Amino acid sequence: MKRSSTSTVRKPLRYSSRKLIRNIILSLAVLTILPPIFFHFRLRRFHQMQLRKCRWLSDPPLVCAHGGDSSKASPNTMASYLSALQSRVDCVEIDASRSSDGVLFALHDRDLQRISGNASSKVGYMSSNEIRELSASHRSTEKFNDESILTIQDALMLTSNSVQQIILDVKVGPPFYEKELAKDIISIVGYIVMREPSTGARTNLLRMIGAEVVGVYHPLIDEKLMRVLHRRNKKVYAWTVDDEESMQKVLFDHVDAIVTSNPTFLQRLMQDIRTQCLEEGYS
C-alpha cells in the first residue's frame, strides 16, 4: 500500500502596499529630521566653544609686565620697564627687596645674582651703596640698553603715569624679614595694590581679609576656582604666564589680569584671537 506524500507550498511573504508606503514615509521622516538635529547640536557646541574662546573680548584682562618686558631686556631694569611701557602694557609688576641699610630696590635676588655673577648674592645682605655701584657698571646712555637697577621710588616715578596699575611683589627675606617692611612700602606708595599669597590653596586665598585682588599661580586656575573667587568679588591675577598654551587657557578662563615676562607676545596673541572671533561673527 503506497503512502501518498503531500507537500506544503509556502507563499512568499508580501507587504501590503499600504504598509510599504507607511514604512517609506517613516524612513523619509527620520532622514529629514536627523540632519537638523545633528546640525543643531553641532551649532550649539560651536557656540559654546566660541563663547569660551571669545567672551573675554567684552572685558579684556590687564596685560601686566613681570619686571618689565623680560623678553627684550633683563628683568627689573630701566631697559625692561621702558620696553614694557613702549608696548603700552596695562600694568607693571615690580619686585621689591630691601637692602641691608633699609633702601627698597626694584630687584629680585636672582636678578642681583645674574648682575653680580655671584650665585649666593642676597639683596638683604648688600648695602644700598654696594647695589648702586653694581648698577653703575650696567648703565648705558642708550635707554633701551640701560640695565641699571632702580629704587622702588624711581621705578614708580618711571612707570606710574603710563599704566593703569602697578603691582608690588614684595620679597621678604633675611636679615630683616617682615620687620617694618609694610611701613616702608606704605611710606612710598601710600597703599599696597596686591599681596601675593604664599600658596594657591583656595581656603587661604579666601581668608585674605579685605583683599580685592588674588594672585594665583596659573596652573592652579580652573573654571571652578574662577567661579568661587568671582562669586566673592575677588579679581584673579594669573602669574607668571609665559607660554602660548597657558596664555590661551587663562584667557579662556576669563582671568582679570595676566602677569607675563613677555607682554608683547601676549598682546599679539590676544589680537590674533580677537581677529578670529570677529571673523567668526562673534559680537
pLDDT digits (tens, 9 = 90+) for 1-40: 555 555 555 555 555 677 777 777 777 776 777 676 666 5
Q: Lowest-pLDDT range, 8-12, 138-142, 193-197, 209-213?
A: 193-197
Summarize the confidence of residues 208-226 as an average pLDDT: 86
What pLDDT is recorded for position 26? 76
| 167 contacts 92 by C-beta, under 8 angstroms | yes
What pLDDT is recorded for position 196? 43
| 69 contacts 268 by C-beta, under 8 angstroms | no
C-alpha cell at 221: 586656575
Q: How many other CB atoms are there within 10 angstroms of residue 11's CB atom?
A: 5
Strand ranges for 25-158 from DSSP E: 62-66, 91-98, 104-105
73, 97, 102, 95: which is closest to 85 by C-alpha? 73
- Spatial separation of the C-alpha atoms in residues 212 and 193, rounded to whole Å: 9
Q: Which pLDDT band, with edges at 50, 70 and 90, does 146 fall under?
A: confident
Q: Is the dihedral of CA 36, 41, 47, 49 positive or negative?
A: negative
Place of cell 637692602: 99
Q: Lowest-pLDDT range, 103-117, 144-158, 186-200, 259-273?
A: 186-200
What pLDDT is recorded for position 193? 42
Model pTM? Answer: 0.75
